[in-house]
Chains A and B, each alone.
Chain A
Amino acid sequence: MDDASRREPVELTRLLEDDPADLYENAPCGYLSMLPGGRIVKVNRTFVEWSGRTAEELLGASFPDLLTVGGRVFHETHVAPLLRMQGAVREIALDLELPDGTALPCLVNAVELRDDAGAPLLVRATLFETTSRRRYERALLAAQRAAAEAEARSRGLHQAVSELAAAVSVHDVAATLVERGRAAVGAVGGAVWLLPAETPAGRRAGRRPGRLVAQSGISPALRSQLERLGGWGARLVRPGGVRVVPLGPDLERAEPGLAAVMAAERVDALVLVPVAAEGRPRGLLLLVRPADGDGELISLTEPGTAADLAAADAELLRTLGRQAGQALERVWLYEETARQAARSAFLLDAARLMAAAAGVTETVERLAVLAVPRLADLCVIDLLTEHGWTRPAARHADPARQHLADRLREVHLPTSGGAHPSVQAADSGRTVWVREVSEGWMTRIAQDERHLAVVRELELAGLVAVPLMAEGRLMGVLTLGAGRQRGSFTAADVEVAEQLALQVSQVVDKAQRLELETRTSHTLQANLLPPAPPPVPGLQVAVRYVAASQGADVGGDFYDVVPLPADGTVALAVGDVVGHDITAAAVMGQLRSVHRVLLADRPSPSAIIDRFQAGWALLGLQRMATALFGSLDPATGQLRLSSAGHLSPLLVTAEGAEYLDVRPSRMLGAPPAPAPAAEWAGVLPVGATLVLFTDGLVESRSADIDEGLAALRAVALAHLGAGPDELCDRLLSELTGSHRADDVALLALARV
């Protein structure tokens, strides 16, 4: 054993026998004793040194007052109650607040000394300084929280990406973006504005109008403020990354209206996230951050000092915006393909509709109905007729807005020289495509205030006007409007509109030509028929001529009643030229003229037929005809009839009604008959009525001629005693409907 080791026990013993007071004062931890209320009654030197105060300052002071505010609250809510309830606390982390304002982290153990009745007498506490341990723990906790946040972000992004991948519509993409964006930064509201899929080249991104596609949690007041700032807050958007626009002096100066709404709704900041694909701007995600991130709780952030977005959150939003941009590209492609198919189907349906078309007006009306909403939200068709412009169709896809389309028919019609696209299309003969509808544009094109009001209310995003042309002739204009929800028309939409206009032009052209021909035929026919028969003593005569109801059909039906002055007899004729066109009408006119010429020789009815047959080749007529000729002596009732393939007349007497048995010879123009035409002779009694008619009265598409003849007889029987005029009216009204396939000529004579 050497000297050193021999000395050691001596010093150790001296140290171990040291003064307990010294041990207390200079212990490697702080000691303090306090009354139950916290008043310090004893402290050791170590604590005095740590505290940065003098022993005199500490004695009598309240222990909780030496702590930071957080520590004081924790002492009151946890330490003091625990000491009372369980008599001791261990490992309590409290920070001493030093006079220089810094904090000294400590761990505190304490015991409560009690009297026999359990009443508290004194609290003894030991304190250990834990500065570096606390720093380490804080770092650990911060890392733990950062990891949890990173995981939450990653989870959110992952979910967003998979939802975006599953999106099949632009709305899906926008809705996902709003919800994920809100969740990412605890926003109370969000909205997505998107640019049109197809944007005209050479325009600045910030100037194009966006379309609000999805939103949630944004008040109408805030939305209207943002709309006011250029459709989608374009003025707030600058190129670059995610931006935070805090409510503060800058915003209050630049946008007082917006700032006021934000303040009223306790919105602290707007977060603007660009939606972009391959660097091309596609739209904007706007998020509304509340004054605090926690609903109705008071924010820990001082008012007006909106905390900036955490870098990781900004990065997350930027990624979200890019992912949404790519999803949009994909969805747009998908939707464009679907739209292309829909366009083809639409044109096919339009072609079918027009193939089955009846008149011009009906066709364009049905076409307008077809065009909305499949091609557009508004469809207006103007036609240029011989009387000027007409607007036969104006339809809106939304029944609630149809009244606006109706008003358009009243307040606006294209007039030459205006700025309205339909006028420009008519004047230039070219398609006019309006890609953007602005207030200035509406003011420019409106005809007057009333028109402007309607145009505003229509809330259109785009317009296309296509002239209707055939063989270089302007026939009208087709104008289509797209609402804001649909968005401006694309080039493909315009192409469909042009194809549709081409089809419409052809139908209108054909229909207009047909209508012209019909009108000409009817005018001609009306001129070829005889005027009202002259009064004949002893006879009452009624005649009717009714044209076919459908299309350009015109008949070759005719009748004639000619009093012959030489012997007082009356010549009668009813006939029907084959065919329903202008030629038939012309042949009928010629037959009637020739018949009158023949009457100069007063031939018998059968002789008239024979002469027609003999001279048919000389007349050079291209159509055959049926006819019934007759002569009647009003004085005696002597009646002679002869038929060239024509229906027999009906004799109506007081006793009944029956068809006369007039044996028909061949039709006029048929190869000559071997024998002369037969003739029926008899007497028309006083009071009896003879009805001569053409097959239009008894033939229809739904019934054969025998049924028609029976019906005619039945009607006549039902009205025995009626005069010729009344009988003619009854027959027409009861035997022919509003749809007549053929002309009707009707002649009734009554002997009185």
Chain B
Amino acid sequence: MSVVARNRVRISGAPQGRPMLFAHGFGCDQAMWRHVAPAFETDHRVVLFDHVGSGGSDLSAYDPVRYGSLRGYADDVVEICRELDLTDVVLVGHSVSAMIGVLAVRAAPELFGALVMVGPSPRYVDDGDYTGGFSRADIAGLLDSLDANHLGWSAAMAPVIMGNPGQPELAEELTNSFCRTDPDIARQFARVTFLSDNRADLAGVAVPTLVLQCSEDAIAPEVVGRYVHAQVPGSTFVQLAATGHCPHLSAPDETVAAIRGWLSVPAGRTRA
């Protein structure tokens, strides 16, 4: 099946504009970008997609081995760019997708021109001197939390929830629909998200990189953002006033402004 259908790729904006690819994080789907992506449609070719296993992606494409590490997701990002014949892409990744972006840029540096990392963390679990913000027990608690919230999942509803091409409006009506998925996939994605360690990959990012750091982010604290900034060569660090982990929803204007501001300076506009 095509990559476009597999990842429910949505393209909008200026066809000749510099491509911007928005990658959602753990939890919901591409709808997370609803207040940010449109702001770039005037001068960018905007590409949204769902990670396999999330939102309206093709659940049957979920392969526990391929998606057993972030590399599988990064390969998907590269495949989307190749399928759409995108180059000089501005890859905007939120949360875990910031790390997926790091891996994608490393795997196919020729495709990407800039990387925007929103609330990144290369490793959530504390490790010696490194502070990730979480203990192993915390992550185990998170997995329990996911279990508790997936009891309402019904396999019979899955086709409806995962999007029916003929009746998109049906999916929209369902409660919590943007963040629902198969519990086993969600659990595995949570494991891959919170139990990966990509610190060693940061130094290999060879495109201009922007680190967007929220205030009072319970998931990716400032110390982690600073760490990422220190490790990615030549990266720019921007502290947002927005609180929480999802500035693109809680403070879309500030988020757009930060990205636009960075893209407009030479380092972010052109390839390294």
Which residues of A are at the interface with B, using a C-beta cutoff of 8 A? Answer: 36-38, 62, 64-65, 68-74, 76-78, 80-82, 84-86, 88-95, 105, 134, 137-138, 141, 292, 294-302
B139 touches A81 (CB 8 A): no
Chain A residue nearest to B173 (CB atoms) is A86
B197 touches A69 (CB 8 A): no
Q: Does B226 contact A (CB under 8 A)?
A: no
A89 touches B176 (CB 8 A): yes
Q: Mark B21-39, 1 if CB is under 8 A from A, else 0.
A: 0000111100110100000
Q: Number of B residues whose C-beta is below 8 Å from A?
A: 48
Q: Which of A65, A138, A295, A301 contacts B136 (CB 8 A)?
A: A301
> Which one of B107-115, B156-164, B229-237, B238-246 contacts A?
B238-246
Q: Which of B134, B148, B179 contacts A93 (CB 8 A)?
A: B148
Q: Provide the residues of chain B in CB contact with A37, threshold 8 Å.
A: 216, 243-244, 250
Chain B residue nearest to A89 (CB atoms) is B176
Q: Provide the residues of chain B in CB contact with A296, threshold 8 Å.
A: 69, 196-197
> In the complex, what's the smallest C-beta–C-beta distance from A252 to chain B, in angstroms?
19
Can you report 11 residue pairs joining A to B where beta carbons are below 8 Å apart?
A69-B134, A69-B142, A73-B145, A76-B245, A78-B176, A84-B249, A296-B196, A297-B195, A298-B195, A298-B197, A299-B136
Question: CB within 8 Å of A: which of B171-214?
Answer: 175-179, 191-192, 195-197
Complex Cα gap A77–B24 (Å): 11
Q: Does B125 contact A (CB under 8 A)?
A: yes
B244 touches A38 (CB 8 A): yes
Which A-B residue pairs are the 5 nearest by beta carbons? Answer: A77-B27, A70-B141, A70-B145, A93-B148, A70-B142
Q: Which of A36, A64, A74, A81 contacts B145 (CB 8 A)?
A: A74
Q: A298-B196, A300-B140 are in contact. List 8 more A-B contacts (CB 8 A).
A: A64-B218, A68-B141, A78-B149, A86-B175, A91-B152, A138-B147, A298-B123, A302-B136
A105 touches B197 (CB 8 A): no
Complex Cα gap A301–B196 (Å): 14
Complex Cα gap A294–B67 (Å): 12
B244 touches A78 (CB 8 A): no
Q: Provide the residues of chain A in CB contact with B147, threshold 8 Å.
A: 138, 141
A78 touches B27 (CB 8 A): yes
A70 touches B218 (CB 8 A): no
Q: Provide the residues of chain B in CB contact with A301, threshold 8 Å.
A: 136
Chain A residue nearest to B34 (CB atoms) is A85
Q: Does B3 contact A (CB under 8 A)?
A: no
Q: Does B138 contact A (CB under 8 A)?
A: yes
A85 touches B219 (CB 8 A): no
> Known contacts being A74-B149, A77-B28, A78-B149, is A69 close to B138, with CB within 8 Å?
yes
> Known contacts being A69-B142, A77-B25, A80-B250, is A85 close to B31, with CB within 8 Å?
yes
Q: Does B143 contact A (CB under 8 A)?
A: yes
Task: Count A/B pairs, Cβ under 8 Å.
Answer: 135
Chain B residue nearest to A62 (CB atoms) is B216
B178 touches A294 (CB 8 A): no
B149 touches A82 (CB 8 A): no
Q: Does B86 contact A (CB under 8 A)?
A: no
> Known contacts being A76-B218, A77-B26, is A300 close to B176, with CB within 8 Å?
no
Chain B residue nearest to A83 (CB atoms) is B249
> In the complex, what's the smallest C-beta–C-beta distance from B72 to chain A, in angstroms?
12
Q: Which of B28, B34, B136, B177 contacts A300 (CB 8 A)?
A: B136
Chain B residue nearest to A301 (CB atoms) is B136
A105 touches B148 (CB 8 A): yes
B28 touches A81 (CB 8 A): yes
A295 touches B218 (CB 8 A): no
Q: Does B144 contact A (CB under 8 A)?
A: yes
Q: Does B265 contact A (CB under 8 A)?
A: no
Q: Does B1 contact A (CB under 8 A)?
A: no
Q: Does B146 contact A (CB under 8 A)?
A: yes
> Known contacts being A69-B142, A72-B218, A73-B142, is A81 close to B249, with CB within 8 Å?
yes
> In the complex, what's the smallest C-beta–C-beta distance from A110 to chain B, in angstroms?
11
Q: Provide the residues of chain B in CB contact with A72, threshold 8 Å.
A: 218
> In the complex, what's the smallest C-beta–C-beta distance from B185 to chain A, in angstroms?
15
Q: Provide the residues of chain A in CB contact with B123, threshold 8 Å.
A: 298
Complex Cα gap A70–B139 (Å): 7
Q: Provide the residues of chain A in CB contact with B149, threshold 8 Å.
A: 74, 78, 92-93
A294 touches B250 (CB 8 A): no
Q: Provide the residues of chain A in CB contact with B139, threshold 8 Å.
A: 300
Q: Provide the residues of chain B in CB contact with A89, threshold 8 Å.
A: 175-176
> In the complex, what's the smallest C-beta–C-beta distance from A169 to chain B, in angstroms?
31
Q: Provide the residues of chain A in CB contact with B218, threshold 8 Å.
A: 64-65, 72-73, 76
Complex Cα gap A86–B68 (Å): 31
A82 touches B28 (CB 8 A): yes
> In the complex, what's the smallest C-beta–C-beta distance from A334 to chain B, in angstroms?
37
Q: Provide the residues of chain B in CB contact with A71, threshold 8 Å.
A: 141, 145
Q: Provide the residues of chain A in CB contact with B27, threshold 8 Å.
A: 76-78, 81
> In the complex, what's the smallest C-beta–C-beta distance from B9 to chain A, in angstroms?
20
Chain A residue nearest to B26 (CB atoms) is A77
Complex Cα gap A203–B249 (Å): 74
> In the complex, what's the smallest C-beta–C-beta distance from B220 to chain A, in angstroms?
10
A36 touches B250 (CB 8 A): yes
B28 touches A298 (CB 8 A): no
B246 touches A81 (CB 8 A): yes
Complex Cα gap A95–B145 (Å): 8
B125 touches A76 (CB 8 A): no
Complex Cα gap A105–B152 (Å): 16
Q: Provide the residues of chain A in CB contact with B25, threshold 8 Å.
A: 77
B68 touches A295 (CB 8 A): yes
Q: Provide the residues of chain B in CB contact with A77, threshold 8 Å.
A: 25-28, 95, 179, 219, 245
Chain B residue nearest to A296 (CB atoms) is B69
Chain A residue nearest to B68 (CB atoms) is A295
Q: Provide the residues of chain B in CB contact with A298, threshold 8 Å.
A: 123, 125, 136, 195-197
Q: Provide the residues of chain A in CB contact with B176, threshold 8 Å.
A: 78, 82, 86, 89-90, 92
Complex Cα gap A137–B216 (Å): 33
A73 touches B219 (CB 8 A): yes
Chain B residue nearest to A97 (CB atoms) is B141
Interface centre among B25, B134, B177, B218 (most CB of A within 10 A): B218
A68 touches B69 (CB 8 A): no
Interface centre among A65, A69, A91, A301 (most CB of B within 10 A): A69
Q: Provide the residues of chain B in CB contact with A92, threshold 8 Å.
A: 149, 176
Q: Provide the residues of chain A in CB contact with B178, threshold 8 Å.
A: 81-82, 85-86
Chain A residue nearest to B147 (CB atoms) is A141
> In the complex, what's the smallest C-beta–C-beta distance from B163 to chain A, in angstroms?
15
Q: Which of B175, B192, B249 contacts A297 (CB 8 A)?
A: B192
Chain A residue nearest to B27 (CB atoms) is A77
Q: Which of B143, B145, B192 contacts A68 (CB 8 A)?
A: B145
> In the complex, what's the smallest C-beta–C-beta distance from A149 to chain B, in angstroms?
13
Complex Cα gap A84–B246 (Å): 10
> Known contacts being A76-B244, A76-B245, A93-B149, is A81 close to B32, with CB within 8 Å?
yes
Q: Provide the residues of chain A in CB contact with B152, threshold 8 Å.
A: 91
Complex Cα gap A89–B27 (Å): 14
> In the complex, what's the smallest C-beta–C-beta distance from A682 to chain B, in angstroms?
106
> In the complex, what's the smallest C-beta–C-beta distance from B262 to chain A, in angstroms?
24
Chain B residue nearest to A73 (CB atoms) is B142
Complex Cα gap A86–B178 (Å): 9
Q: Provide the residues of chain A in CB contact with B216, threshold 8 Å.
A: 37, 62
Complex Cα gap A134–B148 (Å): 8
A80 touches B195 (CB 8 A): no
> In the complex, what's the smallest C-beta–C-beta distance from B81 to chain A, in angstroms?
24
